[in-house]
Homo-oligomer: A and B are copies of this chain.
């Protein structure tokens, strides 16, 4: 039997870098902050007991993962959230939904689930995106 070396599908070969970027609490908090709108590096660094270069490094990781893009405003390099990789990651995870949701097969069950999803408490925690912009 042929041993697999490249068993990644083209559709998902950036999941590595996406999930790796999401595996750090500082970076998830940065994303949560950016969900409330653009922010400069200084603004992003402010809540953390961490030096600015450390934040810059986290931003580079997020940038490589395509999760943030950056503009230019004089000396500032404002960051903003790019959700596309999050969508891809979510889609990958959705493939496993049936393993925790017994009603997955029933469409009305799905609809109920989605309704409650739409209603669910979005109260901001440091790890969750903030209120609607």
A residues apposed to B, CB below 8 Å: 1, 3-5, 7-9, 11-12, 15-20, 22-25, 28-29, 31, 35, 46-49, 81, 83-84, 86-87, 89-90, 92-101, 104-105, 107, 110-111, 113-115, 117-118, 122, 125-129, 132
Contacts of A117 in B (CB 8 A): 94, 110
A contact patch SS = helix
B127 engages A7 (CB within 8 Å) = yes
A95 engages B23 (CB within 8 Å) = no
B125 engages A9 (CB within 8 Å) = yes
Known contacts A3-B48, A20-B20, A25-B7; decide if A107 and B118 are in contact (CB<8 Å).
yes
Q: What 8 A-B pairs are tightest by C-beta distance, nearest first?
A: A83-B99, A3-B49, A19-B23, A20-B23, A7-B126, A83-B100, A87-B100, A19-B22
